[in-house]
Amino acid sequence: MRLEDGIRFGEHFAVDPTCKSELAVVSHAHSDHLKAHVKLIATAPTIDLARLNYKKFESAELGYHEPINIGPAKVEFAPAGHMLGSAQVIVEWHGEKIVYTGDFKLDDNLTCERAEIHQCDMLLIDSTYGRPRYKFPKMEECREMLNDFVNKQLKGGATPIIIAYTFGKAQEAMKMLGDEGFEMDVHHKAFEAAQVYIRHGVDIKNVNLLNDKPTPGRVVILPPGALRHTNTFGWGRLKVCFLSGWTLDRNYEMGGYRGYGIPFSDHAGFDDIVRYVEEARPRRVFTLFGPPEIAEYLCRLGFKAEAAHFNSGYHHTPREGLNLELFS
């Protein structure tokens, strides 16, 4: 196994390869994990979402806990809790059990199964929010914050605009708001993805395709960047809300609109990253997609951990004697 434009298992297959590959095992449908591969193995929802962006590929569906053999490897999916169809990839490879979490979240979700924790010999773990300050409110608290924002704007005569990622976060927002009875006008890409969610059994209500301008009294849901390229003349007074874990760090402005932020993340926060490692009890840990300091903190807890680069395989080896007081 090696890290080189993804996780490569000899010449047999690659997991989340970042360039076009003959056979890719794909954890979920976000564009930073999914490319135009020749053939991909993924969950059924991930394949359906992938077809919204890519048309010409072969596919093989793999459900959770339905192991298959690929060359000398046994490959299995487990829920990741990140978005509909998201999967951790568990590989038995030459006597070792390797777990790649992909993007994961241990907290509850409304539109996908909750993540599981799997013990293993080697763990490659998403550490996007691998700093102690990233401690996110529970889903129910985020839902209350979103409902309060929308209610306040509608009662004040403004159109609430929710900025959320096209796949995953947007559908979580639709589920939250639809269950509360709000009607929504949704950007066409997020609307198409919502239809995939509905086909796979997620009960999303009250979604309408956004046309030239929203219907008064409805919530608008747009992906990041869409507001900058949308002609909002005639939309009336607008109030923008960003759904992102990064709103813990900074205020957001997009398309000339400064927005309110709700730190609703579809990734694990710092405490849940550490919890996963402690319960998985791996002999080796590689942290991915986040700051190298999280590996240094895990070493302090007694784990053999390194920060690794997903594309180049570069390993950041923790330094002896490093002052980790900020992580204590």
With 0-12 CB in 10 A as exposed, 13-18 as middle and 19+ as buried, what is 70?
Answer: middle
Q: Which amino acid is at 103?
A: D
Residues 190 and 218 in one domain: yes
Helix (H) or strand (E) holding 70: strand 68-70
Supply the pLDDT for residue 233. 84
Of 217, 247, 262, which residue constitutes the final position of a domain?
Answer: 262
Q: Which of 53-67, 269-283, 312-326 has the lowest mean pLDDT?
A: 312-326
Residues 146 and 189 in one domain: yes
Which among 11, 10, 64, 62 is positioned nearest to 41, based on CA atoms?
A: 62
Residues 112 and 181 in one domain: no
pLDDT at 327 over 50: no
Supply the pLDDT for residue 286. 96
Q: For the residues of 209-238, what is the DSSP string, one character each?
A: E--SSPPTT-EEEE-TTTGGGS--TTS-SE
Supply the pLDDT for residue 300. 95
The 10 Å Cβ neighbour count of residue 232 is 16
**CATH code for the domain of 92:** 3.60.15.10
Q: What is the pTM of this model?
A: 0.91
Percentage of residues of the chain with pLDDT beyond 70: 93
Say if CB 66 and CB 77 are below 8 A apart: yes
Of 228, 262, 296, which residue constitutes the final position of a domain?
Answer: 262
What is the average pLDDT across 41-52? 96
Give Cα 7 distance to the centre of its chain.
18
Beta carbons within 8 Å of 191's beta carbon, 6+ residues apart:
207, 209, 210
Residues 255 and 280 in one domain: no
Of 233, 262, 291, which residue constitutes the final position of a domain?
Answer: 262
What is the average pLDDT across 254-279? 86
Mean pLDDT, all residues of the chain: 91
Say if CB 9 and CB 93 are below 8 A apart: yes
Residues 121 and 210 in one domain: no
Query: Could you list the residue range(s) of the whole structural domain that residue 221 is in?
Result: 139-262
